[in-house]
Chain A
Amino acid sequence: MSGYRFDRLKVLVVDDNQHMRKLVVAILQAFGVVQIFEAADGNRAWTTLREANPDVVILDWMMEGLSGIDVVKMVRTSPQTPNPFVPIIMLTGYTQIDHVRQARDAGVNEFLAKPVSVKAVMSRLVSVIEHPRPYVRTKAYFGPCRRRRGKEEYRGPERRATQADAMPTDAAA
């Protein structure tokens, strides 16, 4: 089977490390993506975003000047943004939970931890295509819903009852 028509996608890859950029670009090209734009820092990413209006952004976090998180916030909330809904996959060496939370709170759709693997890149692309999240607008936040999954999507066993059963009560403690 032929799979997705990745040749129809425009992808922006932002990383200040040229080697990492080259690697991600090579993977995307092998998937069939033709229109790939590159940026080496947050400022150039913002300019390219507005010029090229990509369908997906793969964005490094740690960059000189505008960080990846700054760019995400601009994409989601700036009046100059070409598309506040553009899926953003954050590619980063930060893997601690507080960093994941910070990325999520800025409006990132998916988190791709380094080291990079072919399967992980494909998995995040498929996720933004097949499982888009609803968007949330509050006074303080605009971006994808920060809850990982809707309740209706969960198809596993009911765990809460089990967890509650396992919780020690005051009387038992």
Chain B
Amino acid sequence: MARQLPIEIFMPPNILKAKVGSAAGGIDMAAIKRAEAAMETLKVEFHDWLASDVAQLGTSRDAFAAAPSATTREDLFRAAHDLKGEADTFEYPMIARMAASLTKLIDATNVSTAIPLGLVDAHVAAIRVVFREKIKTSTDRIATVLVEELEARVAEMLSGA
């Protein structure tokens, strides 16, 4: 492809550096430790935070099941995408993996009515089980069987098998 001309390249003044100064001796490890301590303090809230997002996934699933449309599909995708992004941070890696599988299914199915509700429900149910059983490792045998089955079913569905 032809390069777009003219191209103007310039370096704006580094106002950010002028404001915060330099850390010539390296990163302030005390700041890192403070932040890690802050995260530890917040961990007591992770379970409640995740509970509300798992509940939101259920609500979005119900709205989508009642009236599949671009809007309800988008809401369902967003709820799953939120879980995919945060569940690992909130110490539920298997929920993150299951939610990733669900986002893949929704994202790859452009027509709302073509999204298999049974497979959506299987993801939602599996996420609820992992959360209810407080499975916080990525090596739990039951959770591994569940997520591998979900991923395989999504792959199968997307390959048109």
Residues of A at the B interface (CB closer than 8 Å) are 1-6, 8-9, 16-17, 19-20, 22-23, 26-27, 29-32, 55-56, 62, 64, 85, 87, 92-93, 114-119, 121-122, 126, 128-130, 132, 134-141, 145
Contact = CB atoms under 8 A, between A and B. Distances in A.
Given A114-B85, A129-B16, A132-B12, A138 B31 contact: no
A62 B25 contact: no
Given A27-B39, A126-B27, A138-B4, A87 B16 contact: yes
A22 to B, nearest CB: 7
B31 A3 contact: yes
B78 interface: yes
A76 B86 CA distance: 28
Contacts of A114: 84-86, 88-89
B8 A128 contact: no
B35 interface: yes
Nearest to A60: B85
Contacts of A93: 81-82, 84-86, 103
Nearest to B16: A129
29 contacts: A2-B28, A3-B26, A4-B20, A6-B20, A6-B31, A8-B19, A9-B16, A17-B82, A17-B86, A19-B86, A22-B42, A26-B35, A27-B38, A29-B38, A30-B38, A62-B81, A93-B85, A93-B103, A114-B88, A114-B89, A115-B96, A118-B35, A118-B36, A122-B27, A129-B20, A137-B7, A137-B10, A138-B4, A141-B4
Contact of A4 (B12, B28, B36): B28
A26 to B, nearest CB: 5
